[in-house]
Structure 1
Amino acid sequence: MSAACYHCGLDMPSAAQWSVPIDGVARAMCCPGCAAAALTIVEMGLEDYYRTRSAFSPRLEEAGALPPELLLYDLPQAQQQFELDGEYAEATLTLEGLRCAACVWLIERRLTRLPGVQAVNLNASTERLYVRWSKALCKPSDILQALRDIGYRAYPYDAARHDAQLRRASKTQFRQLFVAGLAMMQVMMYAIPAYIADDGTLDADMAGLMRWASLLLTIPAVCYSALPFFRGAYANLRQRVLGMDVPVALGISAAFGASVLAVWRGSGEVYFDSVTMFIFLLLCSRYLELIARRKAAGALEKLQHALPASAARLPAYPSRRDVVIVAAAELRAGDYILVKPGEAIPADGEIMSGETSVDMSLLTGESAALRKRKGDQLPGGAINIAQAVVLRVSKVAADSTLAALLKLIERAGNGKPRIAMWADSVASWFVAALLLFAIAVFAFWQWHDAARAWPIAIAVLVVSCPCALSLATPTALAAATDRLVRQGVLIVQPHVLEVLHRTTHIVFDKTGTLTVGKPALHKLITFDEMEGSACLQFAAALEVNSAHPLAQAIVAAADATLLGVVIADEVVSKPGQGLEGLVDGVPYRLGSAAYVAELAGCPLHDQVPAGMTPVYLGCGGAWLARFDLSDAIRGDARQVVRHFQKLGKSVILLSGDQQEVAQYVGTSLGVDEVHGACLPEQKLAFVQALQRQGAIVAMVGDGINDAAVLRAADVSFAMGSGAELAQTHADTVLLSPRLSAIADTAELAARTMRIIRQNLAWASAYNLIAIPAAAMGWINPWMSGIGMSVSSALVVLNALRLRRVKRLDLRPVPRRRTQVLRA
């Protein structure tokens, strides 16, 4: 064994010096490939493979020439990260070598040809690939090998490795851009004298010397800076497809080859200035696109890195506050942790000690700090900005609010709207048509004027801009998605922006949607000489320690500065009826009319308004007050309803509550049509009936109830919170408590589609004008490079405008003070 490779079992070469520490022992390896494979096994935590294997790893010729590191992902231990169910598996992969949006359709097309692959979606903004496959027909190594065959490396998503790969890619692209720019400036220095010199004023030897100097300066740009285009074109041709890099590589090769031939012969035109300028400008546009993709994915990346890596656990709390620093992933439900000011909360938990303010802008899009005190729940990822607090962990990291958000983010990138797929399809056909057209143009000019045939054919190849067609849609969608995430809106399904601006009917659920989902004091009616404010303080004193939702509504309406001034003693709760206690030695009761009547001594005959829940206050021999409670309407609900009505859309309230309650809310908000007492199946039938009549329906609900109607609507929104996020069946989740976020989304959807149409129109118009102009000989190759690069840059910059779209000015109506009436 000492003379054999520990990984593959082959004989060790005499000069072999490779080794990998396995189980604490340096194991000899026969080659760098085995060393890399063994090191990967160790880094993946799969050292048990070597202890349990029954044979050495297969040799390359036995494994179909697959690299050993790809075979690792077929191991049972490694496939656990790909499990979906018994028959299928899925994975999110990070890609290396993704050059531009034009790569997307090539990768998706190649993988869909693999046997057993069910779904493939590549998000160019985040550079993450989602694949779903049948485990019986396909292996992970098949997918990774297929990607390697077309020039891309992939591995299961890991945040740290993904960030490192992005940094490497940015540095490499910047170096290539720098070399191309330097070569372009130097070549221009030698090209300008030839342009401005009159006939006979430039010595032939000097002209030849400058041509040779230009050739030498162009070589680094072609052999290094232009490598991404040549590699992309080579991968395209190997797969017998025509990608966006093919015409670019042909244009560079043709111009450079013709120039080298002219220098060697000592006669003819040279295009070194055009070649270096074209490479530099095209790299500029792609570098700009790279920055745009990073910016467009910025909000999602911040969410993915929101949780800290470590946490301060208090193992002996509450007896001692000794701190032990542990990995955040090791936290378990019931652990106590200390969160200091300025730190991110590592896991969902309940405040056990302390009072603070938290910044939840990353999770909800709301910049205002929220005050939190003992007993309040805090989600992982929020920032503690005031004082240190002690939390009791309620959910492990895998089940936290942020984890649920990240799962939705994964779903958000796993699809494309129809307009994006159309653009990709058009771009692929465009390349084929362009190459045929360039050949026809070359043949015509070879017959008509052979001296101009070559530069004109090069200009046709260079001036076209299929990249603009491919960038038009994904860049705009990525920018819009980023903007919405920063506003607290997470788009889960790809069709939302495409369909939302065409909706004709907006259907709202009531509880938790148009209303906040918890009761609030609407009206206070007094029956005695006691002031309304005093009645409210007496009621709050009785309810201050109750956890009942109605009790919390009364306490919230009372003057917080007076809580504790009026004190109730000997408070006794009678479930389902109310409370009784002593205030200044006098017994008071708060609750139902029948319960209070036992103390007040006489029945009370009054009319309770529809939609209200009454709570009565009385003492010995007297009725004091009635508190009318109702589910509070969201402050911006009226503005949202009016906004959609102004846009010509029908607004409908569809509620499971009684018709009187639903009608009260609908009338308060000015809703066009109100339907109460609707069961889930009735809601579904109602929406489907609208759709049969030609309506495009947007449904807004609470995300858990009415899953069927949310799925059936053309576009659906869920008011998301906590664990409910993972259970939502909606196309869009509102992380923000603002209902006006729906109006913001609709407005941004309309702008996004307008931007996409502008981009597609510009890309189409540019190509329709520029390509014939180049074919006519009106555009030189260097002018073609400028036009092509500017066209791509304009598309990207136009799309990035969506990141700066402001919220609509739908300010909530200021909360009115509680009405106090005297009966």
Structure 2
Amino acid sequence: MNSCFHCAETFTQPPYFTQINGTEQPMCCPGCQAVSQAIMDAGLMSYYQYRSEPGMKQAGLVPEQLSHFSAYDLPEVQQDFVHQQDALSSTSITIEGMSCAACAWLIEHRLTPIEGVAKVLVNSTTQRAMISWDNSQIKLSEILSQISQIGYQAAPYQQDEQEKQHHKDSRTFLLRLGLAGFATMQVMMFALALYTGYFSDLDDEIRDYFRWVSMIFAAPVVLYSAQPFYFSALRSLLSGKLNMDVSVSIAIGGAFTASCIATLNGTGEVYFESVSMFTFFLLLGRYFEQNARRRASISSNNLHKLVPLTALRLDGSQQTEIPAKSLRLGDIILVRPGDAFAADGVVIDGHSSANEAMLTGEQMPVDKNLDCPVFAGTLNVEQPLKVKVTALGQDQLVAEIIRLQEIAAANKPAIAFMVDRLARYFSATILTTALITYLVWLQFSPDDAFWVTLSVLVATCPCALALATPTAVTCATAIFTRLGIITRKAGVFEKLASVEQVVFDKTGTLTRGVIALGEVSVFDAASDTSNFDPQTPISKKTAEKATTKTATEVLAIAAALEAGSLHPIALAFTGHLDANISASKLTHHVAQGIEGTINHKVYRIGHLSFALVNANSSARTDAHAFRTQINTSTEPCVWLSENGNIIASIQIQDQVRSDAKQAIDELKKAGVDVSIASGDSVSHVNALGNALGISQVYAEQKPQDKLTLINQLQLSKNTAMFGDGINDAPVLAGAYLSVAMGSGSAIAKNSADLILLGDHLSRFNDAMKVAKKTNTIIKQNLIWAFGYNLLILPLAVTGHVPPYIAALGMSLSSILVVSNSLRLLRINL
């Protein structure tokens, strides 16, 4: 006998399983399995840790009642995010797709008239809504469905483990900040009176009393609020390095210790207010920095929440609603209009479109038909689709994008590494300067030596210097995420801002890479072309027409040859397969074409030079028509030969990207040179260059030729290379800056510095604009940080800056740097 982990019912049949907190737990039925998996997927692991009663048996919910949003109606799922008060339930939901206050107005006016909805408050800034409803009149799933129907994706706001930890850390940080602020105000009341002489005529006992009170208020600040600085300094010292928190910790600890000694002895000055104020302003600067980072990471953290909890699996004609986590590779799922795809896969039946904005940033739906890839979390728009699952979990595109975004956020530009090194040297210089200052002042004014040294440590703390780069890069990364751009390597922002020339690959970059067949030209058996040289003129001949193949037959032969290939061109022939025509002895010649035998005849399809190999000198072809086709064709072609002689040419059409001309014009307007490097023929590359206004083209380039070309161009100009194919990987790896299209091969993307997830080339222009603005912001931050320290250092060394003024100046300097970086988030694109 087994006991169901969810409902505690005993059962004898083979159990279902759900992984709960790292352990496979038995479930009595698919319903309990689906519910328990939904609870885990919603991040509500604590339900099973703290529940006092077993859950309800859920056999009746599968598959009839477990719909797209109905998992959120289950009491077990609602326990951690729905608040119940009298007859009303309330919850906070996350709404994706909101862009302005008008969106909030639309959602409020859509939901408010619905019977059972008591209150709707939408915040367009946080992209969340607080909703109260009567559960006896309307279900939460119906409310979420109503929001979905007007174009927004809604789900109860849930915190995963990382968000929970962030929330916990934020509360602790705010407690430290609040305590420091409160203590600073209290200590300043006494210090201000002492500084202005209000208590100068009081007895020493009264003065000492206020000092003791100040020490009591300052102690929690030093012992609790300032703890992060101590731990950071300790970690730095243990690793054999110096960071800015070393001087901060010395300043705080030294000033507090000296003030405590002065209080105990009743002699000397105390600076409890300076210690408290210094800590408060420093924590305030860190608070702004954390907010900037949080704002930059929200979009990527929410990506995985768009993947649905359940999927509709097809077993023959039977439909079964199961937890999405239970899917396996090869499963067939049905995705209805308006539903999100539960896993990555390929379409095996149906024709619809998908909104992939959550991945690419582009709102226009993408057409999806047979064999088209679909991705978890994206939205099916018009018609139901049957999808074969090809990737799950961390292998899905959404997981890969999240990983890339995390890598991008962790990557530092070259200037950041330079600043980190400077900050370490700067800290060492400041500590040395402080020591020298103390020794000099000890000779001339021993009573002031410590406090002047303290001012030097506080005033010149390199906080602003340390914040100058990371806050700007974090904000820029947030903008890139919004644009559907992923940075993979360090130094991208500097390189983008200094690009002087861009070289585009043709197919899949300037064009969409979706191959379609164009005009089919069939040639007669009239003239001997067994030794034909395309470069040698042919005299015009008249010959009796004796066409031996029709266009339909040519396409069927070509489709039979291409049937075993996964090349994009081969896929274009799929619709012309003829069951009566099959090829044998197929041989694939890389970058040339395919050879095979059909009805004892040798056929070749591919480049002209490959198809022209002579196998039968008695074969004849209409040479004049052949030459005319070569000279006048503006579209790329594949050539088909029979026994070594050309019998047909088939035009290959690839649509130019819609914004290619606009992107190129903007690049040229910005003073960037533009060229094309492609493996296609001269005539085809020239035709595309003329259409896009690109005069500098390089045709018939092999991978090694492209790499050589890029190396030559980079001798005089910083060159960016665009590519998408496996053959582009070497040149992408060798370019000053490499950009891969999101639809390109994995090898190309692994070699690239930058990935454009969508189809719009103009996003590269936006990226350059953001990079230039980011570099400007970083330089402004660094100039201010260095300038402030160079200005304040001599004043502090000479004793003209009291410690509390030093703390205020240092903190305002840091806040200014962070605020300047946040201006990036308001950039217009």
Q: Check whether TM > 0.5.
A: yes
2:717 aligned with 1:718, yes or no? no
2:474 aligned with 1:478, yes or no? yes
2:667 aligned with 1:644, yes or no? yes
Deviates more, 1:177-186 or 1:798-807: 798-807
Residue 43 of structure 1: how far off its partner (Å): 6.9
> Contact 1:190–1:210 (CA<8 Å) still a contact in 2?
yes
Aligned to 1:590: none
Aligned to 2:374: 378
State the Cα deviation string for residues 449-495 of structure 1 (Å, max 9, x = none): 33332222111111113122222222222221221121011111112
Q: Partners in 2 of 1:259 and 1:696 — Cα distance?
A: 57
Q: Partners in 2 of 1:417 and 1:716 — Cα distance?
A: 16
Q: Partners in 2 of 1:740 and 1:190 — Cα distance?
A: 61
Aligned to 1:367: 363
Residue 445 of structure 1: how far off its partner (Å): 2.4
> Contact 1:704–1:729 (CA<8 Å) still a contact in 2?
no
> Contact 2:296–2:475 (CA<8 Å) still a contact in 1?
yes
What is the SS of the residue equivalent to 1:394? Answer: strand
> Contact 1:510–1:654 (CA<8 Å) still a contact in 2?
yes
Aligned to 2:528: none
Q: What does 1:120-519 align with in structure 2 at a 5 Å threshold?
A: 160-198=160-198, 200=200, 204-303=204-303, 306-308=306-308, 310-314=309-313, 316-327=314-325, 330-339=326-335, 344-351=340-347, 358-370=354-366, 372=368, 376-384=372-380, 390-406=386-402, 408-409=404-405, 412=408, 415-518=411-514
2:634 aligned with 1:635, yes or no? no
> Contact 1:412–1:493 (CA<8 Å) still a contact in 2?
yes
Residue 245 of structure 1: how far off its partner (Å): 1.2
Aligned to 2:769: 747
Aligned to 2:44: none
Deviates more, 1:361-370 or 1:382-391: 382-391
Aligned to 2:529: none
> Contact 1:734–1:741 (CA<8 Å) still a contact in 2?
yes
Cα distance change, pair 494–234 in 1 and its aligned pair in 2 (3 A): closer
Residue 357 of structure 1: how far off its partner (Å): 5.6
Q: Partners in 2 of 1:757 and 1:573 — Cα distance?
A: 70
2:790 aligned with 1:768, yes or no? yes
2:706 aligned with 1:707, yes or no? no
Q: Partners in 2 of 1:250 and 1:684 — Cα distance?
A: 54
Aligned residue type for 1:470: A
Residue 515 of structure 1: how far off its partner (Å): 1.3
Residue 296 of structure 1: how far off its partner (Å): 2.6
Residue 784 of structure 1: how far off its partner (Å): 1.1
Cα distance change, pair 604–417 in 1 and its aligned pair in 2 (3 A): closer
What is the SS of the residue equivalent to 2:722? Answer: strand
Q: Partners in 1 of 2:338 and 2:171 — Cα distance?
A: 32
> Contact 1:184–1:280 (CA<8 Å) still a contact in 2?
yes
> Contact 1:424–1:470 (CA<8 Å) still a contact in 2?
yes
Aligned to 1:785: 807
Gaps of 5+ in 2: 1-19, 26-158, 521-551, 584-624, 639-649
Aligned to 2:679: 656
2:710 aligned with 1:687, yes or no? yes
Q: Partners in 1 of 2:285 and 2:297 — Cα distance?
A: 18
Aligned residue type for 2:282: L
> Contact 2:514–2:655 (CA<8 Å) still a contact in 1?
yes
Q: Partners in 2 of 1:459 and 1:271 — Cα distance?
A: 11
What is the SS of the residue equivalent to 1:323? Answer: strand
Q: Partners in 1 of 2:627 and 2:505 — Cα distance?
A: 34
Deviates more, 1:730-739 or 1:793-802: 793-802
> Contact 2:682–2:700 (CA<8 Å) still a contact in 1?
yes
Normalising by structure 2, what TM-score? Answer: 0.63
> Contact 2:236–2:242 (CA<8 Å) still a contact in 1?
yes
> Contact 1:463–1:771 (CA<8 Å) still a contact in 2?
yes
Aligned residue type for 2:736: D
Q: Partners in 1 of 2:298 and 2:334 — Cα distance?
A: 29
Once superposed, what is the RMSD of the aligned Cα atoms? 4.0
Q: What does 1:528-547 align with in structure 2 at a 5 Å threshold?
A: none
Residue 186 of structure 1: how far off its partner (Å): 1.9
> Contact 2:412–2:491 (CA<8 Å) still a contact in 1?
yes
What is the SS of the residue equivalent to 1:806? Answer: coil
Q: Partners in 1 of 2:447 and 2:749 — Cα distance?
A: 68
Q: 1:759 aligns with which of 777, 781, 797?
A: 781
Cα distance change, pair 245–552 in 1 and its aligned pair in 2 (3 A): closer
Q: What does 1:605-620 align with in structure 2 at a 5 Å threshold?
A: 609-612=632-635
Q: Partners in 1 of 2:211 and 2:693 — Cα distance?
A: 77
Aligned residue type for 2:686: Q
2:739 aligned with 1:730, yes or no? no
Aligned to 1:667: 690
Aligned to 1:624: none
Q: Partners in 2 of 1:635 and 1:678 — Cα distance?
A: 25
What is the SS of the residue equivalent to 2:727? Answer: coil
What is the SS of the residue equivalent to 2:319? Answer: coil
Q: Partners in 2 of 1:46 and 1:387 — Cα distance?
A: 37
State the Cα deviation string for residues 700-759 of structure 1 (Å, max 9, x = none): 111432211111111111112276478642111110110111111122221121111111
Q: Partners in 2 of 1:604 and 1:672 — Cα distance?
A: 29
> Contact 1:471–1:795 (CA<8 Å) still a contact in 2?
yes
Residue 200 of structure 1: how far off its partner (Å): 4.6
Q: Partners in 1 of 2:580 and 2:660 — Cα distance?
A: 36
Q: Partners in 1 of 2:461 and 2:363 — Cα distance?
A: 41
Q: Partners in 1 of 2:227 and 2:272 — Cα distance?
A: 17
Q: Partners in 2 of 1:254 and 1:485 — Cα distance?
A: 44
Normalising by structure 1, what TM-score? Answer: 0.64
2:825 aligned with 1:803, yes or no? yes
Q: Partners in 2 of 1:702 and 1:662 — Cα distance?
A: 17
Cα distance change, pair 194–523 in 1 and its aligned pair in 2 (3 A): farther
> Contact 1:490–1:732 (CA<8 Å) still a contact in 2?
yes
What is the SS of the residue equivalent to 1:705? Answer: helix
> Contact 1:459–1:779 (CA<8 Å) still a contact in 2?
yes
State the Cα deviation string for residues 755-814 of structure 1 (Å, max 9, x = none): 11111111100110112222222222111111111212222222222233232xxxxxxx
State the Cα deviation string for residues 303-348 of structure 1 (Å, max 9, x = none): 455545x43242x534122322352xx4222213354676542211
State the Cα deviation string for residues 408-432 of structure 1 (Å, max 9, x = none): 4465466543221111111001111
Q: Partners in 2 of 1:232 and 1:806 — Cα distance?
A: 37
What is the SS of the residue equivalent to 1:391? Answer: strand
> Contact 1:496–1:731 (CA<8 Å) still a contact in 2?
yes
Residue 205 of structure 1: how far off its partner (Å): 4.4
Q: Partners in 1 of 2:371 and 2:248 — Cα distance?
A: 62
What is the SS of the residue equivalent to 1:268? Answer: coil
Residue 513 of structure 1: how far off its partner (Å): 1.0
Q: Partners in 1 of 2:322 and 2:810 — Cα distance?
A: 58
State the Cα deviation string for residues 533-567 of structure 1 (Å, max 9, x = none): xxxxxx9xx99xx999999999xxxxxxxxxxxxx
Gaps of 5+ in 1: 1-41, 48-158, 525-538, 555-570, 577-602, 616-626, 808-823
Aligned to 2:107: none
> Contact 1:507–1:698 (CA<8 Å) still a contact in 2?
yes
Q: Partners in 1 of 2:452 and 2:372 — Cα distance?
A: 71
